[in-house]
Amino acid sequence: RLYLTAGPAVAHYRWVEQRQRLRAPASEAAAAAEWEALDAYWAPPVIDMLKELKGMYTKYGQMAAGLTSVASKTWSEGLRELEDAVPARPAADVLRTVHEETGDDPKALFAEFADQPLGAASIGQVHAATLRATGERVAVKVQYPDAARRFALDMRTIRTFCAWFAPEQLIILDELTRQLEAEFDYTQEARNLALVDANLRRAGLAPGEVAVPRPIEGLSTRRMLVMEMLPGPKLVDGVRAYAKQIAEREGVSLEQFEAVKRAELDERGVAPRYEGPSARSVSLFAAWLRLKDGLHNTCSVAYDLLVARPLGKPRARRRHTAPPPNAPRIMDALMRVHGHQLLVDGVFQIRMR
């Protein structure tokens, strides 16, 4: 399926690339229109193929979805479908792996174990659970039994395909393969969590700015990782939820609102510097919204008790205004935390002798 679908797609892109190089189109707009038509033609069948093949094919598609500076809008939006395209395995399969890794009955370890996973990926999935010994809510990440074997088979096939159709990608592919191989050892992930937490605490960034989930000692194996539960939505989900409220106030759908904002960004480009409200201003505005809602809801309760209930009138509506995401604070925290991880604790921390 990989060769039958992706092979012709790569060949078509190569042919258009060479043709435009030998005979330039009439204008840049004409060249761009030809590439857009090519994307619209090939993106759907290739993405459907990645969904069907699953495993590392889905993994690479998910990684490519974030390469918005390289992939076109058609490809990046289509590849985002892969983020939720991995079907979950039954909880019974997951609990079987828990038993194999610990030698204990899962019921002896967990007082509760959710049937539906919090998320499913190409090599494993995560379930919410409650530890029987302490009552603590935890996230249990379990690797699929055949994940390592399928990874080796998939990578062999993908590498052969690249050797034939895109040999210039082999260097990148080999490096990605080396990095992904480390993901199959969850004990290493547990050590990384503990190390990152210690580094950020030493720098004064945790727990004030960020929180790192704590691995549960004694319950981390090569194929199972149990860590404390940190509740909350994904950042992108929170931003889109707020954008949906704005879109509704303007009488358009979220998709239409995002399309307009994306077109504005394409036209103006990224601003050289942020000139919007400060983090403090956004925090004060959010506090003002909460105060307004509190006053409104207090008056609503009084109205219900003194007027609506005695006279049989409709109850007053409550108000719950969602505050805007504090974008400047989020970006500042991300830059300081990741900057410290890279420049102080990470790859650039080299001791010269």
Here the CATH number for the domain that contains residue 186 is 3.30.200.20
Tell me if 254 is assigned to some domain.
Answer: no
SS3 of 227, please? Answer: strand
Question: Could you give the CA distance from residue 282 to residue 326 in angstroms, rounded to a whole number?
Answer: 6
Output the pLDDT for position 287.
94
131 and 8 in a common domain? no
Decide: 127 and 118 in contact? Cβ < 8 Å: yes
Residue by residue, DSSP assigns 174-225 as: HHHHHHHHGGG-HHHHHHHHHHHHHHHHHTT-TTTT---PPBPTT---SSEE
Residue 26 lies in a domain: yes
Residue 76 inside a domain? The answer is: yes
pLDDT of 350 reads 45
pLDDT value of position 291: 96
DSSP 110-175: EEEE-SS-SEE-SSEEEEEEEETTT--EEEEEEE-TTHHHHHHHHHHHHHHHHHHH-GGGHHHHHH
Residue 40 lies in a domain: yes
Question: Last residue of a domain, which of 178, 212, 228?
Answer: 228
Residues 126 and 50 in one domain: no
Backbone angles phi, psi at 226, to 5 degrees: -110, 125
pLDDT of residue 197: 92
Is residue 36 in a domain?
A: yes
17 and 108 together in one domain: no
Asked whether residue 224 falls in the same domain as residue 98, the answer is yes
In sequence order, the 6+-apart residues with CB closer than 8 A to the CB of 188 are 182
Same domain, 112 and 189: yes
- 54 with 113, same domain: the answer is no
Q: Is residue 311 part of a domain?
A: no
Pairing state of beta strands 110-113 and 124-131?
antiparallel
Tell me what pLDDT residue 264 has: 82
Report if residue 287 sits inside a domain: no
- Do 67 and 106 belong to one domain? no
Residue 353's pLDDT is: 34
Same domain, 148 and 181: yes
Closest CA to 274 of 337, 328, 333, 334: 328
Angle, alpha carbons 44-55-184 (nearest 5°): 145
pLDDT for the residue 68: 65
Whether residue 42 is found in the same domain as residue 6: yes
State the greatest distance between any 2 C-alpha atoms of the chain, in Å, as a whole number.
85
Listed residues 175, 199, 228: the one ending a domain: 228
Q: Is residue 250 part of a domain?
A: no
User: Are 74 and 99 contained in the same domain?
Assistant: no
Q: How many domains does the chain have?
A: 2
What distances in angstroms separate CA 289 from CA 211, 322, 323, 327, one per listed residue?
27, 8, 7, 17
Q: Which residues of the chain have pLDDT under 70?
A: 66-70, 84-85, 347-353
Same domain for 210 and 107: yes
The domain of 26 spans: 2-84
pLDDT at res. 351:
42
> Does residue 140 contact residue 224 with C-beta atoms inside 8 Å?
yes
**Residue 294 confidence (pLDDT):** 94
Domain boundary among 67, 84, 101: 84
pTM of the full structure: 0.74
Residues 75 and 101 both lie in one domain: no
**157, two tokens:** 């096939």
